[in-house]
């Protein structure tokens, strides 16, 4: 597996959650490496004994707001944004949580077999498609970029997020978490749901 050295631009805690926003830059400011939708990367760090530790993470959009929907098909390929859940006694997440701006780590080339023809068939449908998305815990991360892409399909009127053509998907996102404290981006998701109220319904559930 090929790894590329990267540096930390920002590591920011998300208040009230065990999650962190991690923003990385390739070691060369002019490097260009897109991560396709539905793909992930491996992060690699050394533990205190010098042993490499690797874990998979799915890139996310740098922010989750209605405004970002208008640019969901654009990605700043010289940077990489990740949503990291820090687990108690988690080896990799603990190492990530100690990173400082300017620190180095390694990122693999994109990995995944997500079929873009499947996505194309949904978005090019002559009938209005219904999309059901299920996530559990940190599994919300692979859904975020896809969600923005689905919502990006709206009419030419940027002032009306609900004025859509017949091919714009209607999305139902169901998120499962163990406790309320394990939820992330609740306010941001609620804002999206409000702005796209005719197209998006989000259901937050807890394990019993």
Is 55 part of any known ligand binding site? yes
Q: Is 156 flagged in the annotation as binding? A: no
Sheet strands side by side (includes 3-13): 52-57, 41-46, 104-108, 3-13, 19-26, 79-85
Give, as one character, the DSSP assignment of residue 168: S
Residue intervals in the chain for CATH 2.40.30.10:
3-111
Half-sphere exposure of 12 (CA within 13 A, CB side): 11
Distance CA 153, CA 74 (A): 14
pLDDT at 156: 44
The closest alpha carbon to 203, from 181, 176, 184, belongs to: 176
Residue 206 — very low, low, confident or very high, per pLDDT cuts 50/70/90? confident
Around Cβ 31, how many Cβ atoms within 10 Å? 14
Q: Residue 191: count other Cβ atoms within 10 Å of its Cβ.
A: 14
Model pTM? 0.81
**Taking the domain 3-111, which CATH number applies?**
2.40.30.10
The Cα–Cα gap between 81 and 24 comes to 6
**Is 85 annotated in some ligand binding site?**
yes
| Averaged pLDDT for residues 21-40 | 82
Judge whether 179 is annotated as a binding position.
Answer: no
- HEC letters along 99-124: CCCCCEEEEECCECCCCHHHHHHHHC
DSSP 93: H
CA distance 135 to 141: 8
Is there a binding annotation on residue 181? no
pLDDT at residue 103 tops 90: yes
What are 135-192's pLDDT values in tens digits? 999 899 999 988 888 887 654 454 555 555 556 788 999 999 988 888 998 999 999 9
The residues of the chain that CATH labels 3.40.50.80 are 116-155+163-206
CATH topology of domain 116-155+163-206: Rossmann fold (3.40.50)
Tell me phi and psi for residue 123, to 5 degrees. Answer: -75, -20
Q: Are 20 and 11 in contact (CB under 8 A)?
A: yes
SS3 19: strand
Q: Could you tell me the two tokens for 112?
A: 């995944």
Q: Is 87 annotated as a binding residue?
A: no
């Amino acid at each position: 597996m090929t790894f590329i050295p990267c540096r930390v631009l920002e590591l920011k805690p998300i208040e009230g959650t065990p999650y962190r926003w991690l923003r990385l830059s390739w070691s060369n400011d002019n490097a260009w490496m897109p991560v396709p939708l539905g793909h992930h990367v491996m992060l690699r760090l050394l533990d205190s004994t010098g042993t490499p530790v690797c874990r998979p993470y799915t890139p996310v959009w740098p922010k989750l707001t209605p405004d970002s929907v208008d640019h969901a098909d654009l990605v700043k390929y010289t940077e990489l944004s990740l949503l990291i859940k820090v687990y108690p006694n988690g080896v990799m997440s603990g190492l990530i949580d100690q990173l400082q701006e300017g620190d180095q780590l390694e990122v693999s080339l994109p990995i995944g077999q997500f079929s873009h023809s499947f996505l194309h068939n949904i978005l090019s449908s002559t009938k209005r498609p219904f999309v059901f998305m299920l996530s559990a815990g940190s599994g919300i991360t692979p859904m975020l970029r896809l969600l923005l892409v689905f919502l990006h399909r709206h009419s030419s009127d940027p002032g009306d997020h609900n004025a859509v053509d017949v091919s714009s998907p209607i999305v139902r996102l169901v998120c499962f978490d163990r406790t309320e404290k394990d939820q992330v981006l609740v306010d941001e998701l609620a804002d999206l749901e409000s702005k796209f109220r005719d197209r998006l319904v989000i259901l937050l559930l807890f394990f019993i």
